[in-house]
């Protein structure tokens, strides 16, 4: 028997993250100054990012279990950047909500590892493993604000619904395995292409894909599987919400794109199903966001709507739509993380949320924070020349090109509805008389400022300067080889 050749270089970023997780856990037992642990985490993220960018191994790695392609690279970078920013965001405030900052850092790193596994996975086994590693870490992280009773409740809800969704996810995988005889995406694709009708359990394939979509729907918070999102985003510590709202979406969408590319048959009914899902997702998300008084809850519903926009790109079913979806994910990473970072900067030390009342008249007390929040709100609305505008432009033009002009029109109408609640935040900050005492808002430390500045600059710069990295997005989509 010959032993399989395992390309460890291909999973180097993951090895770094997991080793760092264990190191942080052990260091937590001896180190007194817990800030050291966060710096250790930041170091690990930087090392992992360097490994992603510098070490480019040859494709299929680990016996086809993971892929080292452009899409994986792209998603890994977005996820690692989100982790780094979330760690910075938490640096000064972890002790406000938890007695275990070490475990917090370790779980954040572990969740990152799970997300990267999921984004790079090309086999159902690894997709499932990545999904569970990220989910299990997030269930605990959501419940980390021990002083806030809502945090615990959010964790339990997230856990029960997430585990329930995993069941559907797995059942779908089992049925696809039955229909095609393999769990490897490349093999599945080959099996479907060569003899789709003569496969013994061919009828199980659409049922399996449907169940799989339900599972992805839960993780991506697509309507009608979105019920957990507002509660979880509101109850979780703000730095965790910032992290999970963007990074989970990147990982799950990257994985969904891979799965769709494998089982793709270009069937119109499937595309229409995705389009329908996109329409209800963005419409319900935006309508529910209109009447929120909690900013975190409002952004939770807005994140549902944004998942709908990204899905529009996938429903288009052409290269342009997929490119738009990938661009949107990067854009969303920066603008949404920035918005949550501002919320954390404004929220009081003993609180875990900010109401619309509390930000009324913010511009007189904290002009800097108000200005940054305005940038993020404008970007989320989709104002040119910020990233949000180009994201919407690309996914909608993809839909038009795919012969779904109506979908693009629904999307544009939705953006107009969304503008109301994003701009309302800005209006309140600048027009409203001051209601909150200035002393209630804690001093903003350098780490939070760094996060805010990085996200704001990226929100502006990535809209104006797209050439080099749009090339890499195009390559990622071309490599998927949609039929």
**Binding of another protein by 438 (CB under 8 A):** no
- Beta carbon of residue 69, minimum distance to another protein (angstroms, whole number): 22
- Using CB under 8 A, which of 129, 280, 417, 470 touches another protein? 129
> Which range of residues in 81-89, 153-161, 375-383, 466-474 is near another protein by CB under 8 A?
153-161
- Using CB under 8 A, which of 57, 167, 203, 367 touches another protein? 167
- Tokens standing for residue 331: 């854009």
Output 170 or 470, the one with its CB closest to another protein.
Answer: 170
> Which range of residues in 127-135, 368-376, 453-461, 467-475 is near another protein by CB under 8 A?
127-135
Q: Where are the beta strands (DSSP E) in 325-414?
A: none
> Which range of residues in 51-59, 126-134, 243-251, 438-446 is near another protein by CB under 8 A?
126-134
Output 107 or 345, the one with its CB closest to another protein.
Answer: 107
**Binding of another protein by 159 (CB under 8 A):** yes
Longest pairwise C-alpha distance within the chain: 77
Site residues for another protein, 29-58, by CB under 8 A, read: 29
- Beta carbon of residue 231, minimum distance to another protein (angstroms, whole number): 5
The whole-angstrom separation of Cα 77 and Cα 96 is 29
Q: What are the residue ranges of helices labelled H in 236-316?
A: 238-263, 268-290, 295-316
Is residue 275 within 8 A of residue 312, CB to CB? The reply is yes
Q: What angle do CA 70, 189, 211 make, to 5 degrees?
A: 95
DSSP letter for 416, please. Answer: H
**Binding of another protein by 156 (CB under 8 A):** yes
- Using CB under 8 A, which of 160, 413, 438, 457 touches another protein? 160
Give the burial class of 23: count Cβ atoms within 10 A of its Cβ; 0-12 exposed, 13-18 middle, 19 or more buried: middle
> Which range of residues in 17-25, 307-315, 318-326, 372-380 is near another protein by CB under 8 A?
17-25
The whole-angstrom separation of Cα 422 and Cα 380 is 7
> Which range of residues in 32-40, 156-164, 319-327, 418-426 is near another protein by CB under 8 A?
156-164
- Count of residues touching another protein (by CB under 8 A): 49
Is residue 404 within 8 A of residue 329, CB to CB? The reply is no
**Binding of another protein by 154 (CB under 8 A):** yes
Give the burial class of 470: count Cβ atoms within 10 A of its Cβ; 0-12 exposed, 13-18 middle, 19 or more buried: middle
- Beta carbon of residue 475, minimum distance to another protein (angstroms, whole number): 31
**Binding of another protein by 164 (CB under 8 A):** yes
Long-range contacts of 346-350 (CB under 8 A, 24+ apart): 346/441, 347/238, 348/440, 348/441, 348/442, 349/93, 349/96, 349/442, 350/96, 350/147
- Beta carbon of residue 389, minimum distance to another protein (angstroms, whole number): 30
> Which range of residues in 22-30, 51-59, 89-97, 236-244 is near another protein by CB under 8 A?
22-30
- Beta carbon of residue 1, minimum distance to another protein (angstroms, whole number): 5
Q: Which residue has the tokens 């913010």?
A: 362
- Among residues 10, 164, 4, the alpha carbon closest in space to that of 76 is found at 10
The whole-angstrom separation of Cα 178 and Cα 180 is 6
Q: How far apart are the first and last CA of the chain?
A: 38
The whole-angstrom separation of Cα 138 and Cα 237 is 11
Is residue 28 within 8 A of residue 35, CB to CB? The reply is no
**Binding of another protein by 128 (CB under 8 A):** yes
Output 172 or 313, the one with its CB closest to another protein.
Answer: 172
Site residues for another protein, 260-319, by CB under 8 A, read: 291-292, 297
The whole-angstrom separation of Cα 211 and Cα 178 is 14
- Beta carbon of residue 26, minimum distance to another protein (angstroms, whole number): 6
Contacting residues toward another protein, per CB under 8 A:
1, 3, 18, 22, 25-26, 28-29, 124-125, 128-129, 132, 136, 139-140, 143, 149-150, 152-157, 159-160, 163-164, 166-168, 170-171, 173-175, 177-178, 181-183, 230-231, 234-235, 291-292, 297
């Amino acid at each position: 028997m010959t032993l399989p050749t395992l390309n460890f270089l291909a999973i180097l970023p993951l090895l770094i993250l997991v080793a760092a997780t264990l190191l942080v856990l052990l260091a937590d037992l001896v180190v007194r100054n817990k800030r050291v642990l966060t710096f250790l985490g930041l170091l690990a993220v930087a090392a992992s990012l360097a490994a992603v960018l510098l070490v480019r191994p040859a494709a299929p790695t680990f016996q086809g279990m993971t892929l080292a392609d452009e899409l994986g690279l792209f998603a890994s970078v977005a996820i690692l950047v989100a982790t780094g920013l979330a760690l910075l965001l938490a640096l000064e405030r972890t002790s406000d909500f938890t007695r275990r900052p070490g475990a917090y850092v370790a779980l954040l790193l572990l969740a990152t590892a799970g997300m990267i596994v999921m984004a790079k996975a090309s086999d159902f086994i690894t997709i499932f493993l990545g999904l569970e590693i990220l989910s299990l870490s997030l269930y605990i992280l959501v419940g980390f604000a021990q002083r806030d009773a809502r945090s615990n409740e959010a964790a339990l809800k997230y856990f029960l619904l997430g585990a329930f969704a995993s069941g559907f996810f797995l059942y779908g995988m089992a049925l696809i395995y039955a229909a095609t005889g393999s769990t490897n995406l490349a093999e599945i694709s080959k099996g479907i292409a060569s003899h789709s009708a003569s496969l013994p359990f061919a009828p199980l394939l659409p049922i399996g894909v449907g169940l799989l979509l339900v599972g992805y729907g839960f993780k991506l918070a697509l309507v009608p599987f979105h019920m957990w999102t507002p509660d979880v985003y509101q109850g979780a510590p703000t730095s965790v919400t910032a992290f999970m709202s963007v990074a989970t979406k990147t990982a799950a969408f990257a994985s969904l794109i891979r799965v769709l590319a494998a089982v793709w048959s270009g069937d119109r009914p499937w595309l229409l199903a995705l389009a329908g899902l996109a329409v209800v997702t963005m419409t319900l998300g935006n309508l529910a966001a209109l009447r929120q008084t909690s900013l975190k809850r409002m952004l939770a519903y807005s994140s549902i709507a944004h998942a709908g926009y990204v899905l529009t790109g996938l429903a288009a079913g052409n290269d342009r739509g997929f490119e738009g979806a990938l661009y949107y994910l990067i854009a969303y990473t920066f603008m949404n993380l920035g918005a949550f970072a501002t919320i954390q900067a404004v929220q009081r030390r003993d609180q875990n949320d900010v109401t619309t009342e509390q930000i009324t008249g913010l511009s007189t007390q904290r002009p800097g924070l108000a200005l940054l929040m305005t940038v993020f709100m404008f970007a989320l609305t989709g104002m040119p020349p910020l990233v949000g505008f180009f994201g919407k432009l690309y996914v909608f033009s993809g839909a038009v090109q795919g012969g779904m002009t109506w979908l693009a029109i629904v999307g544009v109408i939705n953006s107009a509805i969304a503008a109301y609640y994003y701009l309302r935040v800005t209006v309140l900050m600048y027009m409203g008389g001051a209601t909150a005492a200035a002393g209630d808002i804690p001093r903003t430390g350098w780490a939070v400022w760094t996060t805010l500045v990085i996200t704001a600059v990226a929100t502006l710069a990535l809209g104006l300067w797209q050439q080099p990295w749009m090339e890499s997005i195009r390559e990622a989509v071309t490599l998927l080889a949609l039929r």
